[in-house]
Amino acid sequence: MARPRQIDMALVAQAQALAIEAETLEDLRCAQAVLLPALLDATLEDTAAALGVGRATVARLQALLRRRVARPTEARPSWGGRRRASMSIEEEREFLAPWTKQADEGGVLVVSPLRAALAQELGHRVAASVVYRMLARHGWRKVAPDTRHPKSDPLVQEEWKKNSPKHWRPC
């Protein structure tokens, strides 16, 4: 058996005020998601059909309005973020400090020792991609060698190809 519906009249009053002053479609839908079930005794399915959304969205809109009434100055929480972060950005910056010093002095940074140090710091194994993403987060980039020598001369190379011996002799 489903729980009996409890209607908060203070929330209904807030929803009525919001419906009158709504500037965005989301504000209006939040107000309607509360008003239709409260004033017209509509089910969530009926309310969803009237608003053109899914049943679960009606419950989300009602919860959003409750949060706005409880904390009107705070913005809607986002779904983004680093939920599975092993270290905060500041901790990562502290961890990379000695490596930054080494790289600034002209040393080559090799990822495998950095990965081993990170694994020791965290207490568990880490994938190489974790290290590469951490370095990218802090503005590091992979510097690869050029595909050609900077002093190479294409004309000299073509001349050598034209005038090189056709047959080779074993030594």
Q: What is the pLDDT of residue 152?
A: 87
Q: What is the pLDDT of residue 167?
A: 73
pLDDT per residue, tens digit, the chain (171 aa), is 667 777 788 889 999 999 999 999 999 999 999 999 999 989 889 999 999 999 999 999 999 998 888 766 656 566 777 888 899 999 999 999 999 888 888 777 889 999 999 999 999 999 999 999 999 999 888 776 667 787 888 898 888 888 887 776 676
Q: What is the pLDDT of residue 147?
A: 79
Q: What is the pLDDT of residue 81?
A: 79
Looking at this protein, which amino acid is placed at residue 92? E
Q: What is the pLDDT of residue 141?
A: 83
Q: What is the pLDDT of residue 83?
A: 82
Residue located via tokens 């983004």: 80
Closest listed residue to residue 39, CA positions, set 15, 75, 70:
15
Beta carbons within 8 Å of 61's beta carbon, 6+ residues apart: 29, 30, 33, 34, 51, 53
What is the dihedral sign for C-alpha 57, 59, 60, 66?
Answer: positive
For residues 18 and 3, the answer to whether their CB atoms sit within 8 Å is no
The contacts found for 63-70 with CB under 8 angstroms, 24 or more apart, are 64/26, 64/30, 65/11, 65/14, 65/15, 65/18, 65/30, 65/31, 65/33, 65/34, 66/11, 68/30, 69/10, 69/11, 69/14
Tokens at residue 164, please? 């090189």
- Compute the distance between CA of residue 13 and CA of residue 38 in angstroms, rounded to an integer: 11
